[in-house]
Structure 1
């Protein structure tokens, strides 16, 4: 029989008199001897402290510096409880074997309201999507259609009654502000499917207060961002067009978030990190060039470090700037000086023989090169083995200027141009000024 362990966390948030905030977790069916406390910001957790059980099975510590926001108590390796801290005493009970169903707030009205809201959102989302699906399949003259529509109207009415009632009762409270900004959008079921989608694109962010930077310490802005992006997701679109759709969503999100610099940076960081994880590189570059660099945003250190070459390339090698000179040997060992190439336009392309996209793109560029004859090509290989480089040139009959120092990512040319991915292209004029940075063949064709 597992012991019942009471997690007692005493946090000193107000240094007034002898008052100390008490946060207590009573958790059944756990043998944990330690628990860890984290603060939450979007999807990121920051470790605060660990607590060791006392002889009575209590976990306690004091801290005067905890901000208002969401926190997470972690125990039993992969189990956790998220709670809201607004400076008031908190007592929460749960069963470790079934946290979601057993979670209760004993004396914290804010946390009780938070858990009610979380459960209501899940219930509303599931039921409303099911009812909308039924309405889309049934003929309008069917009795069941009218019944379903009535049920959906009732569901929407009850949801809005809860949200409006709780957010308006004490509108300045942290939980009320969270509920108002985090509420799910409610769309009239009189609209057709396409009309509903357009409505969501235009109005689903209407209730989000992007000027409330305290909500950074919750999941509000990240949840609303991912929710908004789903309205632009279309699996039937090719990658290039899908990325263009996401760029539209990004414009709306970051324009709205720009009213508050802290929220702006928070949302930009989340979007960059998310699109990077899912391989939408063009969207990442779009955000960096049009928002991060343009407005000099400070991203999270972890995100910024992983994207430093991207940021530097966008900032230091922007259109109109002078490109670094390159002096490297060609495939025959002859030295090539980029500055000495006589051409009004030079396409500088960084690639590697092992790069899947390069295997498709370079032959296509070569065909365009032969057809247009309006620019010279200098292809810088990031290969490390000469035989791989030479074979790629031979197989694809690349009779343009091929150069490499065979140092891979450590290539000086690659570092001077802050290359973070292949292929990467720069169109230069005769003075090595950057004219454009084509992202793909279609953009290159417009040159």
Structure 2
């Protein structure tokens, strides 16, 4: 029995000794809840929590599995970021929301971080200022003859960059901060590079392409989402034509895939988020390319929801023949507009719109289509509205005002037509010719109307 107790005690002691502590004193947050949160890819989680005493003292703990970046947050919900690098940390200050009053008393990694956080913004400001002056001395005829100031500007820019590199080089090779700071600099510099230092765009894009999303340091850094967003934002705002932007996005997707394919969980997490991001900003050529790339990646299993969402781009891409639609005539809202199958329509083109009364965007787009219907009809374009409804009366009440054929089998997402067309969101629009070849996948009524005006003059 005593031996058993000793074993349990030892296990408990080992477990306790593997935890690190964050001890702090912040005078203005006395008797408040305080918690430590960590990052896990696109999500955050609570590492530990406590309540400060009457003097604002607290102690929180974290383990080796929390290695990365975390943040302390109290009742004002303004976080103080901190490096969780496997060391005990002691910090003091007035409030977590006033970082300029914060001082790191113990924890070498956080001391490195604190020093760089104070010095680096000043270097960046100076670089932007020198860059502005350099343009004046290079492009303005009043100053281009002044070679000495121009050379001095270049030398000072070089010196500032060298100083930044020297600080990072001085850190130990196994330092988390040594990896984190250049990565954070890359992510945070995007808008400045695009606006003030466009000559650095190719180098910055190349740095993004070299990132490894399966690196646990990135996964736990709090930069995971920002690296995806800022990478593709910079591509979109690189000053190139839209066609070239899409080509660059394809190159970036290609660069990301080999390492992502080695980690199924992160592969799904990144591709799901990136696909939604590209769709959100109407970058459909890039989202289609990503979809096909993901679906053709044989080394990873795709989450079912994501797979269904992406499959529409393989099965329903431009140039493919859309599936035939078969209709129960009793499910049309207006008996005047009934037909047994889609191919019965004799129009040169057909716009198929998938939508629903419960879809806010549909309630904007469908009335617009109704306004344009007569114009489109005169140019040989028919419209068929397929509604994802469950209740027949609700559908009838909703669709009876539309001048175009409207249909619902009241099976919502389980409708065979909906499944055949791989519809995963509403509204979804397809433009078909009289042989059901997919001519266009408009992302809005405005785009569809522009096509009519341009191609059917």
Query: TM > 0.5 between the two?
Result: yes
Among 197, 202, 206, the alignment partner of 1:199 is 202
Aligned to 2:177: 175
Question: Matches of 1:340 and 1:273 in 2, distance apart?
Answer: 33
Q: Which moved more, 1:74-83 or 1:279-288?
A: 279-288
Instruction: Tell me, yes or no, if the aligned pair for 1:427 and 1:438 is still in contact at 8 Å.
Output: no
Q: Which residue number in structure 2 is paired with residue 4 of structure 1?
A: none
Asked if residue 403 in structure 1 is aligned to residue 409 in structure 2, the reply is no
Matches within 5 A, 1:332-343: 332=335, 335-338=338-341, 341=344
Matched, 1:218 2:215: no
Query: Where do 5+ consecutive residues of structure 2 fail to align?
Result: 1-10, 138-142, 191-195
Number of matched pairs? 409
Q: 2:291 aligns with which of 282, 289, 292?
A: 289
TM-score (norm 2): 0.68
The alpha carbon displacement at 1:370 in A equals 4.8
Which segments of 5 or more consecutive residues in structure 1 lack a partner in the other structure?
A: 1-11, 188-192
CA contact (8 A) 2:292 2:310 kept: no
Q: Quickly say closer, same or farther: Cα 1:45–1:198, change in 2 above 3 A.
A: closer
Per-residue displacement from partner, 1:340-369 (whole Å, max 9, x unpaired)? 626698735116696545566677787566
Match of 1:154 among 136, 154, 159: 159
* Greater mean alpha carbon deviation, residues 333-342 or residues 32-41: 333-342
RMSD across aligned positions (CA): 4.9
- Separation of aligned partners in 2, 1:70 and 1:391: 55
* In structure 2, distance between residues paired with 1:404 and 1:144: 73
C-alpha separation between the residues in 2 aligned to 1:227 and 1:14? 44
Q: Contact 1:15–1:64 (CA<8 Å) still a contact in 2?
A: no
- Distance in 1, Cα, partners of 2:414 & 2:385: 13
CA distance in 2, matches of 1:14, 1:294: 50
Residue 91 (structure 1) aligns with: 90
* Cα deviation code 1:109-166 (max 9, x no counterpart): 1122233344444333333223222322343334654444333222222122223343
Q: Secondary structure at the match of 2:254?
A: helix
Does residue 382 of structure 2 align to residue 380 of structure 1? no
Match of 1:33 in 2: 32
Structure 2 counterpart of 1:141: 145
CA contact (8 A) 1:88 1:108 kept: yes
The residue that corresponds to 2:6 in the other structure is: none
Q: Is the 8 A contact 2:205 2:234 kept in 1?
A: no
In structure 1, what is the Cα distance between the partners aligned to 2:206 and 2:247? Answer: 14
In the alignment, is the contact (CA less than 8 A) between 2:47 and 2:62 conserved in 1?
no
Distance 1:197 1:356 in 2: 42
Question: How far apart are the structure 2 equivalents of 1:255 and 1:236?
Answer: 21
Aligned partners of 1:330, 1:29: CA distance in 2, in Å?
A: 65
Q: 1:102 maps to what in 2?
A: 101
Question: Cα–Cα, structure 1 residues 62 and 36, in superposed 2: closer, same or farther, change >3 Å?
Answer: closer
Q: Distance in 1 between matches of 2:205 and 2:339?
A: 54
Report the more deviating stretch, 74-83 or 434-443.
Answer: 434-443
The structure carrying a bigger helix percent of its residues is 2
The question of whether the paired residues in 1 share the 8 Å contact of 2:68 and 2:83 is answered with: yes
Task: Name the TM-score, length of structure 1 as normaliser.
Answer: 0.69
Match of 1:232 in 2: 235
* Partner residue in 1 for 2:140: none
How far off its partner does 1:407 sit?
6.8
Per-residue CA deviations over 1:371-396 (Å, capped at 9, x if unaligned) read: 4x5x8653436795767745542xxx
